[in-house]
Chains A and B, each alone.
Chain A
Amino acid sequence: MSTLNYRKLSRASRWLDVRRRKLGMWAYVLNRITGIGLVIYLYLHLVVLSSLLRGAAAWDSFVALARSPFYLALDVILLAGILVHGLNGLRVAFTGFGVGVGAQKAIFTVLMVVGAIALWVAALKIFHV
């Protein structure tokens, strides 16, 4: 039983090991890690939104906290996760429908460059530079 569970756990976590893997595996792992992070963020976000129910004072004090540099840096990290997951997800979707199958690595690279530029511009905007 324990051997079986170990095997299942081992099989389920194989995707996490990117050692000696090619770009495709990195893309796959990035998509999963950012996806897990975004699911956790989604539920944290929903919990935070409940402070709206405690009225203006509770929400506005949270907003003041969220405008601090630490929270703004977290916003940039969140946006990085969204961009990686979203842009790579688009590639996966198009590939699934047979579009751009032969140029996946190039498409992935271009999308990540576009994402990095978008993140840079957004970070400047978030920090009001």
Chain B
Amino acid sequence: MIENPFAEEPKPTSAWLWQVFTGIGLVILLGLHFIANHFVAKGGLRDFAEVVAYLRNPVILCLEVLFLLCVTTHALLGVRAILLDFGLSEPAERRLNQVLKVVGVLTVAYGLGVTWMVIR
């Protein structure tokens, strides 16, 4: 029998708190990202020259990097929550945490690398 999630008190683990804080951050940052890149941009998307000019703006760059950090953390914590439903043993959970940390670092490094190569 699955209990009603509305009746469930979420456990305030650090992972859950990170999920909440990055989620709240994403509501703002993803909103700005979507509006800036799909609604403000002429034709719904920026061409190459416009992308370079956009990312060379230091304020935009900081917001996009913060967005990358938040979205990666939030996404991988979500994946972790789903995989933990498999009832992993403690060693398996530790391995999962390590793998997700590596995936997260690689994802952020990839995003920063692409950004750097575009704006340099």
* B39 / chain A contacts, CB cutoff of 8 Å: 122, 125
Give the contacts of A1-28 with B (CB-CB under 8 A). Answer: 8-9, 11-12, 14-15, 21-25, 27-28
A73 within 8 A of B: no
The answer to whether A55 touches B48, judged by C-beta atoms less than 8 angstroms apart, is yes
Inter-chain CA distance A15–B5, complex, in Å, is 10
The answer to whether A11 touches B45, judged by C-beta atoms less than 8 angstroms apart, is no
Q: Mark A107-129, 1 if CB is under 8 A from B, else 0.
A: 00000000000000010011010
B58 within 8 A of A: no
The answer to whether A25 touches B51, judged by C-beta atoms less than 8 angstroms apart, is no
Of listed A21, A55, A92, residue having the most chain B CB within 10 A: A92
A interface majority secondary structure: helix
Q: Mark B47-67, 1 if CB is under 8 A from A, else 0.
A: 111010000000000000000
Place the interface of chain A in its size category. Answer: 35 or more
The answer to whether A15 touches B85, judged by C-beta atoms less than 8 angstroms apart, is yes
**Contacts A36-B82, A56-B48, A56-B49; is A42 near B27 (CB within 8 Å)?**
no
B residues with CB within 8 A of A = 2, 4-7, 10, 12, 16, 20, 23-24, 26-27, 30, 34, 38-39, 43-49, 51, 71-72, 75, 78-79, 82-83, 85-87, 107, 110-111, 114, 117-118
A residues with CB within 8 A of B = 8-9, 11-12, 14-15, 21-25, 27-28, 32, 35-36, 38-39, 42-43, 46, 49-50, 52-53, 55-56, 59-60, 63, 66-67, 72, 75, 79, 82, 86, 89-90, 92-93, 95-96, 104-105, 122, 125-126, 128
Nearest 9 A/B pairs, CB to CB: A24-B6, A56-B48, A12-B85, A28-B5, A59-B48, A12-B86, A96-B10, A93-B20, A24-B4
